[in-house]
Amino acid sequence: MAYKLNVNGRSATVDASPDTPLLWVLRDVLNLHGTKYGCGIGQCGACTVQLGGRAVRSCQTPVSAVGNAAVLTVEGLSTDGTHPVQIAWQEIDVPQCGYCQAGQMMSAAALLARTPKPTDKDIDSAMNGNLCRCGTYLRIRQAIHKAAELATSASARTVQTAQNGSR
């Protein structure tokens, strides 16, 4: 079956059986390897992508269920690694092996989009589906707070620039 997908703002037509998980379409058909396979049963979150802005497990999302919803993967967070979570993850030196981190960042970015100033509790709840086998949770939490700060100051700057421009 042919499916027309919207991945990272681009349209892509893929040929796959309807039950093929979005994960494997991304990895093996579209060559977007940032999204990772860890368990295949929605337990680990390594395959987390955003679907219409919501964090979902792409290993549990058949390609036939994607429809027109915008698919965002780690490769689409920014063109140059400058999304606030990408900057914060680097500043805090979060990863050990790094294998789970794309999924962690996709969950974090979805959280920050709806809750710009998350509490620790908000973070624990939003990140509950993402395992880190190396145990970098303390730094992930710290990086999410940092990303929230960066995003706020960035949007403050944008507002100010716009105001300056209007004068």
Partner 1 sequence: MAINRRSFLKVSAAGGGGLLLGLYTQPKASAQGRGGPAPAPPDPHVYVKINRDNTVTIMAKNPEVGQGVKTMLPMLIAEELDVDWKSVKIEQTDFDDTKYATQFAGGSLATPQNWVPMRQVGAAGRALMIKAAAQTWTVPESECSTSAGKVLHKASNRSLTYGELADKAWAMPMPDLKTLKFKDPAEYTIIGKPQRQRELPAIVKGEPIFGIDVTVPGMLFAVYQKCPVFGGKVANANLDEIKQMPGVRQAFVIDRPDITEPVLPNDPGLESGIAILADTWWQAQSARKKLQVTWNEGPRANDSQSSAVFAQRAQELSTQKPHKTIRADGDAEANLGSAAKVVEAAYSYPFISHAPLEPQNCTAHVKDGKCEIWTNSQIPQGGRGLVAKALEVPERDVTLHMVRGGGGFGRRLTNDYMVEAAYIAKTAGVPVKLLWAREDDMTHDYYRPGGFQFLKAGVDGSGKVVAWRNHFVSYGSFDAQKGDVRFANAAAMGPTEFPQRFVPNYALHTSVMELGIRTGALRAPSSNAFAFVIQSFIDELAHAAGKDPVQFRLDLLAAGGPAPQAAPGPFAAPGLNAERMKGVVQLVAEKSDWGKGDLPKGRAKGVAFHFSHQGYFAEVAEVSVDAAKKVKVHKVWVAADVGSQIINPSGAENIVQGAIIDGMSELMHQEITVEKGRVVETNYNQHGMVRMAQAPPEIEVHFLKTDNPPTGLGEPSLPPILPAVANAIFTASGTRVRSLPISKSGFSWA
Q: Are 109 and 50 in contact (CB under 8 A)?
A: yes
Which of residues 35 and 50 has its CB atom nearest to partner 1 in the complex? 35
What's the start-to-end Cα distance of the chain, in Å?
Answer: 55
Q: Are 25 and 7 in contact (CB under 8 A)?
A: no
Please tell me whether residue 84 binds partner 1 under the rule CB under 8 A: no
Please tell me whether residue 109 binds partner 1 under the rule CB under 8 A: no
Beginning with the edge strand found earlier in the chain, give each strand of the sheet holding 54-57 in spatial order: 10-15, 2-7, 70-72, 48-51, 54-57
Shortest reach from residue 21's CB to partner 1, in Å:
7
Which of residues 65 and 134 has its CB atom nearest to partner 1 in the complex? 134
DSSP result, 98-139: -TTHHHHHHHHHHHHHH-SS--HHHHHHHTTT---TT--HHH
Please tell me whether residue 62 binds partner 1 under the rule CB under 8 A: no
Shortest reach from residue 159's CB to partner 1, in Å:
26
CA–CA dist 59, 41 (Å, integer): 7
Which of residues 138 and 154 has its CB atom nearest to partner 1 in the complex? 138
> Binding residue for partner 1 (CB under 8 A) from 13, 31, 164, 166?
31
Interface residues with partner 1 (CB under 8 A) are 16-17, 19-21, 24, 27-29, 31-41, 43-44, 46, 73-75, 77, 81, 85-86, 89-90, 93, 95-102, 105, 120, 123-125, 127-128, 130-141
